[in-house]
């Protein structure tokens, strides 16, 4: 298993990863791909870092994160996705650890994650808690009626 920076030839395979994750709607998939494209267009200036998890020749997941503008040591984890058929193999944990390690190398001390409160996102919520993230905020009806925004944080 190898976690590495995304390369241009990974794009189409990452589109498959996002689609196969099973919990993103079409708008969310489009936004995920926009961030990937921004990173590919300008890796240093985009404000995003994209790492992929590769095993042999297959890409099984990715993580996208970056510094929060106007902060000194705070980063956002924007997306993390693993093919649904590959869940439970430790790929998500490997990706989140790689992001945390990289954030620390860049001087980051706080990593934030925002997600939905919908039932379909409960596996993600459990995953973040298992990875040591604490629920620090909830905004009721943020995305739509009955869909709250949950904010998780971890000090690195």
Domain ranges of the chain: 2-155
pLDDT tens digit sequence for 58-70: 899 999 999 999 9
The hierarchical CATH code for the domain 2-155 is 3.40.630.30
Report the alpha-carbon distance of residue 101 to residue 4 in Å, rounded: 12
> Nearest-CA neighbor of 59 among 34, 86, 37, 40?
86
Cα angle at 102 between 101 and 104, to 5 degrees? 65
- The two structure tokens encoding residue 112: 């934030």
Output the average pLDDT for the chain. 94
pLDDT tens digit sequence for 8-55: 999 999 998 888 887 788 888 899 999 999 999 999 999 999 999 998
pLDDT at 130 (0 to 100):
96
Between helix 26-41 and helix 11-20 the angle, nearest 10°, is 160
User: Tokens 């000194």 correspond to what residue?
Assistant: 72
pLDDT tens digit sequence for 119-130: 989 999 999 999
Q: Which residues contact 37 (CB under 8 A, 6 or more apart)?
A: 11
């Amino acid at each position: 298993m190898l976690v590495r920076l995304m390369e241009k030839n990974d794009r189409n395979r990452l589109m498959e990863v996002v689609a196969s994750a099973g919990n993103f709607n079409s708008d969310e998939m489009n936004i995920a791909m926009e961030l990937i494209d921004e990173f590919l267009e300008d890796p240093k200036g985009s404000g995003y870092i994209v790492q992929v998890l590769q095993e042999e020749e297959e890409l099984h997941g990715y993580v996208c994160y970056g510094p929060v503008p106007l902060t000194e040591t705070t980063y956002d984890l924007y997306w993390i996705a693993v093919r649904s058929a590959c869940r439970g193999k430790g790929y998500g944990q490997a990706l989140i650890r790689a992001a945390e390690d990289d954030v620390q190398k860049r001087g980051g001390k706080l990593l934030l994650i925002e997600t939905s409160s919908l039932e379909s996102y409960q596996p993600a919520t459990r995953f973040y808690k298992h990875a040591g993230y604490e629920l620090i905020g909830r905004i009721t009806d943020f995305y739509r009626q009955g869909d709250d925004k949950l904010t998780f944080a971890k000090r690195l």
